[in-house]
Amino acid sequence: MRRFFAVLSLCLSLILPTAPASAQVVDQTFDNAIACALVYRYLGDRGPAYEQLVAKTAQIGGRSVAAIRAELDEREPRLAQGIADGKLDADTLSGLAAKTCPNSFGVAPAAPAARIATTGGSSGRPDPYQCAGLFRWLDAKFPSNTWGTTWAGDQMVERAAAALGLSTAALDGRLGSFTPSTGVVATLLDKAVQCQNAYDTPVPPGAVIAAAKYGDRPGVDRGRNQYCQALANDFDRNFPDIGSVERAIAFNPPSGMDQSSKTLENLQYYFKRMDEAQCPVGFTQSRVDAFNELADRATAAIKQAQTRLEREGKWW
């Protein structure tokens, strides 16, 4: 759909039987790279070749790996729908992953069999039930600013349910009795990272908070960036127009001052959560600066209102 399907259709046309042999290579553009990563992902290969494609896409696009993963999360359902609608051919995707993408980006051909791999064995993937249970347990043990569940936990349950051939509700119903086999937080975090890599789902906020409290582990940074970005987005959505705050104070000082005080208090909540998660400065500094500007201008507006009150008396 939209530009993606146009780009992907162009890539697919290059491997049709009528295409010349030289068309087995496409340019290393952002659109072609993310299309290849998406095809590998759809086919179920999230191994080293897929990770290389994600990294290459991030490099070409000048974006973070976390941002690319988030965009792939959004695009995969559209790709699946396109195949279901007959707009794209699944067999052609396999050909793309077997020739054009490897030839163009220097990665191994996709291994479609990985799509149906579920537990242990030769696939080497962690057990999906254990992964879903661990994500839910971490979120419950180290609660974040959510109402009992998190996006990452929900996503892991969905992917684990698909791997086990269960409905999401059925699997979630079994997870209430889940208890990890160890209480060693570092071991649990390493296991969560293995699940993250196997099912392409960031470790949940509970894991991020646990890592901040008990010691960071390699790989947790992906979940941290995801959680910190969510907090940053919430902060931005709740950040007011500063001019409207100033006008509210000027029009009705008591009401405007009360409103601005509550706004500042609410915004501080996100800083507390960011500090708890040890969010990188890239997520915090610009928002701290915006908060300080809001506080300074609100204070200045209050002083102006006080001066006017002394001069003119009550006007509201």
pTM of the model: 0.61
End-of-domain residue from the set 226, 258, 283: 226
> Which residues contact residue 68 at a Cβ distance below 8 angstroms, ignoring those fewer than 6 apart?
34, 37, 54, 57, 58, 61
Assess whether 157 and 192 both reside in one domain: yes
Assess whether 12 and 68 both reside in one domain: yes
232 assigned to some structural domain = no
Assess whether 13 and 103 both reside in one domain: yes
| pLDDT tens profile 142-174 | 998 766 679 999 999 999 999 888 888 988 888
End-of-domain residue from the set 88, 116, 144: 116
Label residue 9 by pLDDT band (50, 70, 90). Answer: very low
233 assigned to some structural domain = no
The structural domain count of the chain equals: 3
Assess whether 244 and 213 both reside in one domain: no
Assess whether 108 and 127 both reside in one domain: no
Q: Rounded to the nearest 5 degrees, what angle is found at the Cα of 218, between the Cα atoms of 213 and 224?
A: 60
207 assigned to some structural domain = yes
Assess whether 131 and 112 both reside in one domain: no
Q: Please give the residue range of the domain that contains residue 271.
A: 239-312
7 assigned to some structural domain = yes
231 assigned to some structural domain = no
Cα 97 to Cα 210: distance, rounded to the nearest angstrom: 38
| pLDDT tens profile 207-234 | 999 999 999 999 999 999 999 999 999 9
Assess whether 51 and 91 both reside in one domain: yes
End-of-domain residue from the set 203, 226, 249: 226
Question: Rg for the chain (alpha carbons), in Å?
Answer: 25
Label residue 296 by pLDDT band (50, 70, 90). Answer: very high
194 assigned to some structural domain = yes
Backbone angles phi, psi at 268, to 5 degrees: -60, -30
